[in-house]
Structures are given as structure tokens and as C-alpha cells.
Chain A
């Protein structure tokens, strides 16, 4: 459980975040300190009978049946860009 090589800039890209150089400089020691604290978990003795498949707390899904949904017009009003009752986004496919 070593955090010595956390690359804040790389992990931020994985999280779809553009950080400024100042943010990277600020976050690096803060995240190192937090991960240093988290490393204490590696010293916990874990008993053999720990079961993470906790069936009594698993989410219970409703039946796969149609249900009333939100009003599409009200939902679309929150979209930053919309046209023809749809959300408009930048082009996602490259030119042929």
C-alpha cells in the first residue's frame, strides 16, 4: 500500500479533470499526507471469516416494468444546450 508514486496530474486526467499547475502543487503534499494516514489500514489484522458479500444489505431492484418518469420538458430546461427536444453536444465522431 505505497502512495509514494501517486501522479496527481495523471490521476486527474483519469477523473476528467484539468488541474492548473498551482493546483497540482497544492494537492500533491495534501494527498500524500492523507494517503499516509490511510496507510494505517495495512496494519489491521483481518480475521479469516470476513465476508464482503453482505446479502442482507444488497440493493433490492424493483421489477422491470414501465414507471412514470420526470417531465422531459422540465428536465431539458436544465440542459446547457438543447434543440428539437434533445440535448445538444459537440460532435463525438471524427470526420470520415
Chain B
């Protein structure tokens, strides 16, 4: 059931927030037994909120699952890490949680994720392995794999995730649901445990484009607690969402339809494009010439920022602290060695290296310059088109464990989603069909719609048309 349908049931009196929540909570253990999308949930607290739900508010009484890197007062926030697994309780609400509560929503259940959001498969969680509801032998995608799997399996009606290089859109695509990454600065990052601060954005994972718009409407807006928050008015996303694509120009970047794409992905995306064309959109071939450098650029900038952000996990103020260290320096070393998993260590080392004296200009400064060129590609493209469409990922969901010893291979699979983070533009993943892949018959395929800076209205309009195509 979608959020919008559940809301209608509340308003008609068919069910109540308490009944809906009780049903969700009682079904959760059984539904999530194999999928393992939820790492914790607090039914008592949620039922208390449901009992006093105000249905006149836009999200009155609606339960929403939260990725486990978004602070929610009184709840654990493990970030999928041993470092925070046993000994951290959030002392405050992130701004998005505060906004959800003000709109009447009930944060319920914490979703699994790659440790500190580093990964594309949710295989890097120290807590549990989340499986794809469409095929339990496959990854749910990542890093918001728990959120995507929970929504796809009906364990949650909607969820929040975070997206640093595709971590909302790619799992949404792999699980056959909608995932939206807003413009950088559109949604406050206050209370999101930072991975790469110039790239991170919080966004919704939902069953429909309408639901994604509904949540974005609530969580978007200026926040003085986030210094990168944009002080720009939030338009009414539902007002134009059904306007269709007639007369719109849709850019088709040749670099995103290269030989590396699985034929089933290409076919589904192209079918959707044909339908949009039939609805009156004009497809315009474009070029984003620096696409081949997006992964390299990202894997300098994101680890650099991560190595800095994760220096706060030192065993002093919260989280894991080593027992019986020789001295304070030994405490830092041991606490971090014990608390972090391999992918986090790999990225901290990579980030420390590219920021170190003698390598800073060659790696970090150069990557920042290339990032500018990637952003410029999009700015120029949007001078002649209203939106850009591409696949979300080169292939459908791979088998669990297929990239265990080869992290670079997994990094390269993010090639279509990373550019939106590097350039700060909004992007959304919408299901566009299924295909056979690597022994499976019907795996979901997603189409990605990218829009100009703060162009969420246009993006949602095209997304709704693509959803109905």
C-alpha cells in the first residue's frame, strides 16, 4: 500500500494510525525474516505517537522507516557499524525527523545500510546482510539497501535514505521502487551522520512518484543548522506533477548508453523513452563529455571527505572504546581498528593518502577541477533540454558476494548515479520494467531522470509520466 492510499484510509475511517502501526509491527518479524532490512524498531514509542496522531496534517499518522544514519531522539543510530552498534542512542532529532514529526508522520523502524553509507550493495553492514525481495540471492543495492528492500517488501510504506553517489537511486532501482535524491542543499543534512559532506543528501524511497513528492514537500526547506542549506522557497510539487511531458525536451546523453549496459536495461529504458516521445516529449541527443571521469573524481573527493568526517570516531565521546590502551594514541588506534569494517578502513586510507602532503594537488585539487568540468557539462546540457534521462545502473541487481574481493568493480557500477552528486543536481529513479539477468528471470530496471539545480518540479513531472508510461 502506498502512503497516499494509507492516508486516504485514515481520512475515510477505514483504519486508524494505531491499527496500521500494529499491523506493520506484528507482520515485521515474519516479513523481514529473510530480507533483513530492519535493524531495530520501537513499537511502544511509535504506538504512543499513533494514539495522538493529527490527521489534519499532511502526513498525519503515517509510519516512515528511517535509514540508520539519521539521528532520531531516543533511538539507536548504528550507521551499520560495530563502532556504534551497542552503545549509542541519539540525543536529538535530525531536522528531517523534526519536519516529519511536525507534518504528523511517525518515524518507525531503522533500516540497514552499508557501514557509514560506504557501499553499493548493503553487504558492508556490520549488523546483517539485506537481501533483495525480488530475488533473495541478490543484493538489494546500497547503501540505502534496507530502506529500499523494506519498501519493496511492504515492511514499510515509505522510507528515508541518504545518497552520496547513488545510495538512494541504485537500491530503489534494484528493488523496483522510486528513489529521489534532491538538489544539494534542498534538504537539511543536520543530524545525518556525515560521510562526504559536499555530496550527501537525504531523500525518500517510496512506491510511487506521488509519495516521493509528498515526503520531499515535507522535508525540503532552509535550515540554519546546515550551513549548506539553500534559502530558496519550496514550490508545491503536487501542483505540476501531472502536467505530462508534452512539449518538453529530454536530453539523452550518448555516454550513458554505451556498450557496457546490459541489453535488458537498455531495452527497458529505450521503451520508456519511446512512450514519453509518444506523449509529446522531444528526445534530444546530447553529450556529457567528462562522464568517463566521474568514478575517478568521486573516489578522490568522497574518501577525502570521509577520512576527515570519520576522524570524530575516536573512542572518546561515543561509540566503541578499546579496553586497556597503553595511552591516548593507542586508544584512538585500537578503538578505530576494532570498530570499523574493511570498506571504511579502505576509504579512510585512500582519503588520507589523497589529502597527504605531496599528493594533495595531484589528486584532490585535480579532482575538484574535474568536478567543475562535470558540473559544467550539465549546466551546458540544461541550456537546451528540460531534463536528462539515463539508466540508473548498467545492470540489474547482481548476486550476493560477486564483488567481494574487487571493490573497484563495485565502484564502477555507480557510473550513472555519481555525476548528480558531484554536480549537486536532483535525480530520481523510477521503475521501468524487468529483465532477465545472470540466471534470474524478472529483475527490476530503473530509469533515472536528472533535472537542473532546484528543478525538482520538472523532475517529478517527467518521473510521473515515466511511471505511467
Binds A, one of B4-12, B106-114, B336-344: B336-344
**Contact of B366 with A41 in the complex, beta carbons under 8 Å:** yes
In the bound complex, residues from chain B placing their C-beta under 8 Å from that of A35 are 350, 353
**A71-B74 Cα distance, complex, nearest whole Å:** 12
In the bound complex, residues from chain B placing their C-beta under 8 Å from that of A1 are 362-363, 366
Whole-angstrom distance from the CB of A85 to the nearest CB of chain B?
A: 14
Q: Is A21 an interface residue when CB atoms closer than 8 A count as contact?
A: no
In the bound complex, residues from chain A placing their C-beta under 8 Å from that of B412 are 37
Q: Is the interface of B mostly helix, strand, loop or mixed?
A: helix
Q: Is B20 an interface residue when CB atoms closer than 8 A count as contact?
A: no
**Contact of A27 with B327 in the complex, beta carbons under 8 Å:** no
Residue total for A at the interface (Cβ-Cβ under 8 A): 51
**A41-B363 Cα distance, complex, nearest whole Å:** 8
In the bound complex, residues from chain B placing their C-beta under 8 Å from that of A46 are 366, 369-370, 373
**Contact of A52 with B372 in the complex, beta carbons under 8 Å:** yes
**Contact of A41 with B367 in the complex, beta carbons under 8 Å:** yes
> Known interface pairs A17-B333, A50-B373, A52-B369. Does A38 touch B349 (Cβ–Cβ under 8 Å)?
no
> Known interface pairs A78-B89, A78-B317, A89-B316. Does A19 touch B345 (Cβ–Cβ under 8 Å)?
yes
> Known interface pairs A17-B336, A23-B345, A44-B290. Does A11 touch B353 (Cβ–Cβ under 8 Å)?
yes
Q: Is B57 an interface residue when CB atoms closer than 8 A count as contact?
A: no
0/1 string, B442-457, CB within 8 A of A gives 1: 0000000000000000
0/1 string, A17-36, CB within 8 A of B gives 1: 11110010011001101110
**Contact of A61 with B365 in the complex, beta carbons under 8 Å:** no
In the bound complex, residues from chain A placing their C-beta under 8 Å from that of B132 are none
**Contact of A38 with B89 in the complex, beta carbons under 8 Å:** no
**A23-B336 Cα distance, complex, nearest whole Å:** 14
In the bound complex, residues from chain B placing their C-beta under 8 Å from that of A89 are 316, 328, 331
**A18-B328 Cα distance, complex, nearest whole Å:** 14
In the bound complex, residues from chain B placing their C-beta under 8 Å from that of A96 are none
In the bound complex, residues from chain B placing their C-beta under 8 Å from that of A90 are 325, 327-328, 331
**A40-B296 Cα distance, complex, nearest whole Å:** 7
Tally the A-B contacts, defined by beta carbons under 8 Å.
156
Binds A, one of B137-145, B248-256, B307-315: B307-315
In the bound complex, residues from chain A placing their C-beta under 8 Å from that of B311 are 16
Q: Which of the residues A18, A40, A60, A91 comes within 8 Å of B337, measured between beta carbons?
A: A18
**Contact of A15 with B348 in the complex, beta carbons under 8 Å:** yes
Q: Is B321 an interface residue when CB atoms closer than 8 A count as contact?
A: yes
**Contact of A60 with B366 in the complex, beta carbons under 8 Å:** no
**A71-B292 Cα distance, complex, nearest whole Å:** 48
> Known interface pairs A12-B349, A41-B300, A90-B325. Does A17 touch B340 (Cβ–Cβ under 8 Å)?
yes
Whole-angstrom distance from the CB of A13 to the nearest CB of chain B?
A: 8
In the bound complex, residues from chain B placing their C-beta under 8 Å from that of A16 are 311, 314, 329, 332-333, 336
**A15-B340 Cα distance, complex, nearest whole Å:** 12
Per CB-CB distance, the 7 closest pairs between chain A and chain B, nearest first, are: A80-B321, A74-B91, A59-B227, A78-B318, A18-B337, A15-B352, A18-B333
| Contact surface of B with A, Cβ cutoff 8 Å | 87-89, 91-92, 224, 227-228, 290, 292-293, 295-297, 299-300, 307, 311, 314-321, 325, 327-329, 331-334, 336-337, 340, 342, 345-346, 348-354, 356, 362-363, 365-370, 372-373, 406-408, 411-412, 424
13 new A-B contacts at CB < 8 Å, known A23-B342, A30-B406, A80-B319: A15-B351, A16-B329, A16-B332, A17-B333, A31-B349, A37-B412, A38-B299, A77-B91, A78-B318, A79-B316, A79-B317, A80-B87, A80-B318
